[in-house]
Chains A and B, each alone.
Chain A
């Protein structure tokens, strides 16, 4: 059974940093592109970042470029999102998702940026 388990969300002050993790199981992790998608409270879905199978290629939404870094550890079947210089508008539930078209999603982890 394919499973994605998001974790690492927390309450953090503006300007702070956080690292999210997504632990995967039930499939060959290194064979799939992976993404992060977020959803602010009461709002729609926002694509954040995507990483290639090897981790060599990454893309970001303009809203997070230069502040967030996506990475993966194929030996540990884990996806990461390092978030720096956090702002109020980064407050959201963050989901990891598998494949180019996001066929499986994690349960989400909540990030709250507030002083």
Chain B
């Protein structure tokens, strides 16, 4: 089983600032089958990035994903008020699939 470790646990930033979230895998993620999701309180998760760097339909270009192998990054170039939420990474290449424990981005 691939264990995904996200850091930091909480990121306190101000609107307009840049957010950099990390997801490290315990072993290589095949074919870059790594996705990122945003979850706001009381809502279902929303897909942001798949294939490590492809933006999902309707996702603003301030969200970008990068990485390969065991190290992946989600970057939000300029935080908007609606971006303060919890973010999860997820590998879907092989089963069992797993999620990271999440990074909360909150307002400083």
- Which residue numbers of A lie inside 8 Å of B, CB to CB? 35, 37, 44-47, 50, 59-62, 95, 100-108
Q: Bound complex: CA of A106 vs CA of B44, how far in Å?
A: 7
CB-CB nearest in chain A for B50: A101
- Residue among B95, B97, B99 with the most chain A CB within 10 A? B97
Known: A44-B99, A46-B99. Contact between A105 and B45, CB under 8 A? yes
Chain B: interface residue total (CB-CB under 8 A): 25
Measured between beta carbons, the chain B residues less than 8 angstroms from A60 are 96
- Which residue numbers of B lie inside 8 Å of A, CB to CB? 1, 33, 35, 37, 39, 44-47, 50-51, 56-57, 86, 88, 90, 92, 95-102
Contact partner, B37, options A45, A62, A106, Cβ 8 Å: A45
CB-CB nearest in chain B for A44: B102
Could you show 8 A-B contacts with beta carbons less than 8 Å apart? A45-B99, A59-B96, A95-B45, A102-B35, A104-B47, A105-B44, A105-B46, A108-B44
Q: Bound complex: CA of A45 vs CA of B47, how far in Å?
A: 13
The 5 A-B pairs at the shortest CB distance, nearest first, are namely A59-B95, A101-B50, A105-B44, A47-B97, A45-B99
Q: Bound complex: CA of A31 vs CA of B54, how far in Å?
A: 21
Task: Give chain B nearest CB distance to A69 CB in angstroms.
Answer: 15
Contact of A103 with B50 in the complex, beta carbons under 8 Å: yes
Q: Bound complex: CA of A35 vs CA of B45, how far in Å?
A: 13
Known: A44-B88, A44-B102, A105-B45. Contact between A100 and B95, CB under 8 A? no
Measured between beta carbons, the chain A residues less than 8 angstroms from B98 are 47
Task: Give chain A nearest CB distance to B103 CB in angstroms.
Answer: 10
